[in-house]
Amino acid sequence: MWFKNLQLYRLALPVNLTAESLHQALAKLAFSPSTSMDLQNQGWASPRDNDLLVHTVNGQMLIMLGTEKKLLPASVINQVCKAKATELEEQQGFKPGRKQMKDLKEQVTDELLPRAFSIRRNTWAWIDPLNGWLVVDAASPARADELLKPLLKVVNDVTLYSLRVAQLPASAMTSWLAADEAPAGFSIDQDTELRSAGEDKAAVRYVSHTIDPDDVRRHIAAGKQCTRLAMTWADRISFVLTESLAIKRVTALDVIKENSDSKMQNDEERFDSDFALMTGELNHMLGDLVAALGGEAPQQP
Q: What tens digit of pLDDT does each residue of 109-158 get? A: 888 877 777 788 999 999 999 999 999 999 999 999 999 999 999 998 88
From residue 42, give the alpha-carbon distance in Å to each of 15, 67, 119, 123: 26, 4, 12, 11
Residue 2 domain flag:
no
Alpha carbons 293 and 172: distance in angstroms, whole number: 7
Q: Who wins on pLDDT, 255 or 154?
A: 154
Residues 231 and 124 in one domain: no
Residues 66 and 82 in one domain: no
Length of the chain equals 301
What's the mean pLDDT in 279-301?
92
Residues 26 and 158 in one domain: yes
Q: Who wins on pLDDT, 115 or 64?
A: 64
Phi, psi of 166, rounded to the nearest 5 degrees: -70, -35
Helical axes 141-154 vs 19-26, angle rounded to 10° = 100
Residue 232 domain flag:
yes
Does position 287 have pLDDT exceeding 90, yes or no? Answer: yes
Residue 299 domain flag:
no
Whether residue 121 contacts residue 147, with contact meaning beta carbons closer than 8 Å, is answered with: no
Residues 141 and 249 in one domain: no
Phi, psi of 25, rounded to the nearest 5 degrees: -70, -45
Residue 27 domain flag:
yes
pLDDT at 109: 83
Residues 132 and 62 in one domain: yes
Residue 301 domain flag:
no
Residues 28 and 144 in one domain: yes
Long-range contacts of 26-35 (CB under 8 A, 24+ apart): 26/53, 26/54, 26/63, 26/151, 26/154, 26/155, 27/53, 28/154, 29/150, 29/153, 29/154, 31/65, 31/66, 31/68, 33/68, 34/68, 34/70, 34/118
pLDDT bucket at 260, cuts 50 / 70 / 90: low
Residue 297 domain flag:
no
Q: Determine the number of helices (DSSP H) and then strands (DSSP E) in the chain.
A: 8, 12
Residues 34 and 157 in one domain: yes
Neighbours of 243 (CB within 10 A): 19
- ω into 141 cis (within 30 of 0): no
Residues 67 and 83 in one domain: no
Residues 30 and 148 in one domain: yes
Residues 32 and 52 in one domain: yes
Whether residue 266 contacts residue 252, with contact meaning beta carbons closer than 8 Å, is answered with: no
Alpha carbons 292 and 89: distance in angstroms, whole number: 69
pLDDT at 259: 66
Whether residue 231 contacts residue 187, with contact meaning beta carbons closer than 8 Å, is answered with: yes
pLDDT bucket at 36, cuts 50 / 70 / 90: low
Q: What is the pTM of this model?
A: 0.85
Name the domain count of the chain.
Answer: 3
Residue 80 domain flag:
yes
Q: Which of 151-165, 217-231, 252-266, 284-298 has the lowest mean pLDDT?
A: 252-266
User: Residue 146 in 3-state DSSP?
Assistant: helix
- Which residues form the domain of 224? 169-292
Maximum Cα–Cα distance for the chain, whole Å? 78
User: Residue 42 in 3-state DSSP?
Assistant: strand
Phi, psi of 290, rounded to the nearest 5 degrees: -60, -40
Q: Which of 9-23, 34-48, 52-66 has the lowest mean pLDDT?
A: 34-48
Given the DSSP bridges, would you call strands 40-45 and 60-71 parallel, antiparallel or unpaired? antiparallel
Residues 19 and 149 in one domain: yes
What does the pLDDT look like over 201-252, one tens digit per residue? 889 999 988 888 999 999 999 999 999 999 999 999 999 999 999 999 999 9
Whether residue 243 contacts residue 169, with contact meaning beta carbons closer than 8 Å, is answered with: yes
Residues 12 and 157 in one domain: yes
Residue 298 domain flag:
no
How many alpha carbons fall within 13 Å on the CB side of residue 47?
Answer: 21
